[in-house]
Structure 1
Amino acid sequence: MARKRLRSALIAAAALATLVVPVPAQAASTTGALMITHVRPNAAGADIKNNKQVNLNGEYFILKNVTKKTVDLGGYVPDITTNTYGRALPAYRLPAGAKVYVHTGSGTHHRDAKGNHHVYRGYGRHVLPNDGTKKNPDIRLKKPGSRDDNTATGAISSCNWGKAADGRTYAC
């Protein structure tokens, strides 16, 4: 009886395994401790309402710590290739294997109830491109001490998404 149940369970598991095949939209890569995995360059809804920038934190990118140790985000440079803002990431200790949502607007850096980390860049306006310009990539993550100068120097990970749909998150 136990052998029959075990056989049935193995057959069911094998059938299920053939149904679930994860395929990334685009292979993400890095040459450093952090990797850009996703980006939402166009926050859902209007960017400006009553002459004020709104929903700044709906625009973000996600980084993953691909090491087996805690990494301080401080000094890493998100180089957006359609502009130069020169603002490095703030100090924040990201545990091994964890991911962090890097929001455009302001807030208190924290870990939420689901275990996701959030840091805020403090911009008063939307900065990620969503107009479909020909820049490739649209964002690069550069190692600490690198310049925000629209070149690949110091880049460890990058992402391109082209024209961004309203509220859509893109895999890198």
Structure 2
Amino acid sequence: MSRTVRTTALASAVLALVALATPSQAASTTGALMLTHVRPNAAGADSRDGTQLNVNGEYFFIKNVTTRTVNTGGYVPDITTNTYGRVLPSYNLPAGARAYVHTSNGRHYRDSSGVHHIYRGYARHVLLNTSTAKNPDLRLKRPGSLDDNRATGSITTCNWNTAADGTTYAC
């Protein structure tokens, strides 16, 4: 097989995998922040011998879709099969900026690429690895909303069906 044919076949395979990992719903929002991507299943094992592993490898992306700085404090990530009740911490996300919202602990910061990192403070994985009949799998709700598995207060949603190990999905 020639190098060109192999390259073309590899490129086609990669594009097919990307298409499989992208849900069919388009991203949208009715608020200042929008969910854009999610990695619900961190690469590798979630735990070993009762110890949680790579908890910050589980995250979702938000984007400030306004022309002003938005404080993320109080926004409610509502995972539709459980109620964890932990709102996003206070962080000033500049206009148009994107942020990783990591599951575990860390220091909030902006990296050299201009992407922000926000940490929720859980000691365990909280996003679903396998889908349920509920749709969507994750909602971002306005500050003051209840983490109650209902749509009330939702500004943006995301679902990913069954999550492949270490795969990031577009919302």
TM-score with structure 1 length normalisation? 0.85
In structure 2, C-alpha distance between the alignment counterparts of 1:117 and 1:159, rounded to whole Å: 20
Q: Corresponding residue for 2:35?
A: 36
Structure 1 outlier segments of 4+, above 6 Å: none
Q: 1:68 corresponds to which residue?
A: 67
Whether the 8 Å CA contact 1:42–1:130 is kept in 2: the answer is: yes
Contact 1:77 1:148 in 2 (8 A): yes
Provide the residue aligned with 1:81 in structure 2. 80
Matched, 1:166 2:165: yes
Instruction: Please say if residues 134 and 162 of structure 1, whose CA atoms lie closer than 8 Å, have aligned partners that are also in contact.
Output: no
Q: Where does the alignment leave 5 or more consecutive residues of structure 1 unmatched? A: 1-22
**1:51 CA displacement:** 1.8
What's the CA shift for 1:119? 0.5
Match in the other structure for 1:52: 51
Using the size of structure 2 for normalisation, the TM-score is 0.85
CA contact (8 A) 2:131 2:137 kept: no
Partner letter of residue 36 of structure 1? L
The answer to whether the Cα contact below 8 Å between 1:90 and 1:121 also exists between their aligned partners in 2 is yes
Return the alpha-carbon distance in structure 2 between the equivalents of residues 51 and 152 of structure 1. 34
Cα deviation, residue 130, structure 1: 1.0
How many residues in Structure 1 have an aligned counterpart in Structure 2? 150
User: CA offset at residue 135 of structure 1?
Assistant: 1.4
CA contact under 8 A between 2:40 and 2:129: conserved in structure 1? Answer: yes
Q: Deviations over 1:19-72 (max 9, x none)?
A: xxxx98641000000000000000000000232001000000000000000000
Percent identical across equivalent pairs? 70
Specify the alignment match of 2:90 in structure 1: 91
SS in 1 for 2:62: strand
Paired residues of 1:74 and 1:88 also in contact (CA < 8 A): yes
Over the residues paired in the alignment, what is the CA RMSD in angstroms? 1.3
Partner of 2:121: 122
* SS of match in other structure, 1:39: strand
1:3-22 alignment, distance < 5 Å? none
Q: Match of 2:131?
A: 132
- What is the alpha-carbon distance in structure 1 between the residues aligned to residue 132 and residue 152 of structure 2? 21
